[in-house]
Amino acid sequence: MYKILQKQFLNPTVCKMVIDAPLIAKKAQPGQFVILRALEDSERIPLTISDYDKEKGTVTIIFQLVGESTSELSALCEGDEICDFAGPLGKPSNLDGLKKVVVVGGGVGCAIAYPVAKKLKENGCCVHSVIGFRNKDLVILKDEFEAASERLAVMTDDGSFGEKGLVTEALEALIEEGNQYDEVIAIGPLVMMKFVCKVTEKYGIKTTVSMNPVMVDGTGMCGGCRLTVDGKTQFACVDGPDFDGHKVDFDEAISRSSMYREFENRRREAFCNLMKKEAE
């Protein structure tokens, strides 16, 4: 069992937990993920490792309340234990040798982008970061990104915090300034990553994206996380989650990602109604 040492809601729908998991923390690297079950009868869900402390033996996860499983997880409290917590899984992000990079994060994807920015800075890389949200109430990890970046642009759709606009606008402005980047690393909603790649393709800048499709077993056996990359089938759990963004079939990935949305919404609503009845 894995004890929850800290729990904090970063905004109304995004929760941060620090988990006691020394064996995972010992080997964790940016870009990797865990698969967990909140309770014995919960489904397995993959969550990217947002941070880790090898000395304290802790792993940090940040997740958005989407369906029943994330709602079950968010209902646990400090001192409670998570049933299963397996990892680290997936290939670590390849960050060696990079001298100047833009890290682009969107929404809860910033939780995945932050450890990448942090590790790049530790490696001596010049890091420029662009993070985007719908509005000020959804902003997360701003201070952490400031500490890991030489330059930071915070964008909101409605202009209620930072600058008004899209992350692609801020990214293109940085490129047009004459910055020469070794790579752009984009992590966030599929649509955001798709259009980041359209921007960088114009300038011939290598772009890595982190894919998070439906995943069940995390070993490549179920096929749920399959993607088309450069015309070939790849599996996010064992071949990724990082891929060359210019070779990913985003339209296919976007279509597949919406298959279970209605079911997730119904299950979340049913769980919330159950919790309300128990509270009464």
* Buried-state track 130-150, b at ≥16 Cβ within 10 A, e below 16: bbbbeeeebbbbeebbeebbe
Distance CA 26, CA 41 (A): 28
The tens digit of pLDDT for each residue in 108-142 reads 999 989 999 999 999 999 999 999 999 999 999 99
Q: Is residue 16 located within the same domain as residue 135?
A: no
Can you say whether residue 120 is alpha, beta or left, with left for phi > 0 and alpha for psi between -120 and 50 degrees?
alpha
For residue 280, name the pLDDT band (cuts at 50, 70, 90). low
Has residue 273 been placed in a domain?
A: no
pLDDT tens per residue, range 141-188: 999 999 999 999 999 999 999 999 999 999 999 999 999 999 999 999
Which whole number is the average pLDDT over 258-262? Answer: 63
Say yes or no: 114 and 82 in one domain. Answer: no
Mean pLDDT, to the nearest integer, of 21-37?
93
End-to-end Cα separation, the chain, in angstroms: 30
CATH of the domain at 32: 2.40.30.10
If asked whether residues 53 and 168 sit together in one domain, one would say: no
β-pair partners for 209: 186, 243
What domain range includes position 163? 100-257
Half-sphere exposure of 25 (CA within 13 A, CB side): 17
Same-domain check for residues 115 and 252 = yes
pLDDT at residue 264, as a whole number: 58
Same domain (yes/no): 243, 148: yes
- d(Cα 99, Cα 87) in Å, to the nearest integer? 29
The percent of residues above 70 in pLDDT, for the chain, comes to 92
pLDDT band at 270 (very low <50, low <70, confident <90, very high): low
46 within some domain: yes
Both 113 and 80 in one domain: the answer is no
pLDDT score of 221: 77
Write the pLDDT tens digit of every residue in 206-248.
999 999 877 777 777 777 788 999 999 999 888 888 999 999 9
Could you tell me if residue 272 is inside a domain? Answer: no
**Residue 255 binned pLDDT confidence (cut-offs 50, 70, 90):** confident
Domain closes at, from 39, 63, 89: 89
Q: Are residues 82 and 209 in the same domain?
A: no
Q: Are residues 11 and 112 in the same domain?
A: no
Residue 274 falls inside a structural domain: no
Number of domains in the chain: 2
Measured CA distances, 119 to 49, 155, 280 (Å): 13, 23, 46
Spatial distance between the Cα atoms of 15 and 171, rounded to a whole number of angstroms: 28
Same domain (yes/no): 179, 141: yes
Assign residue 254 a region: left if phi > 0, alpha if psi is -120 to 50, beta otherwise?
A: alpha
- What CATH number has the domain bearing residue 246? 3.40.50.80
Asked if residue 263 has pLDDT above 60, the reply is no
Position 68 scores a pLDDT of: 80
| Chain mean pLDDT for the chain | 89
* 72: Cα separation from own chain's centroid: 19
Please check whether residues 122 and 230 belong to one and the same domain. yes
Q: Which amino acid is at 38?
A: A
Which pTM was predicted? Answer: 0.85
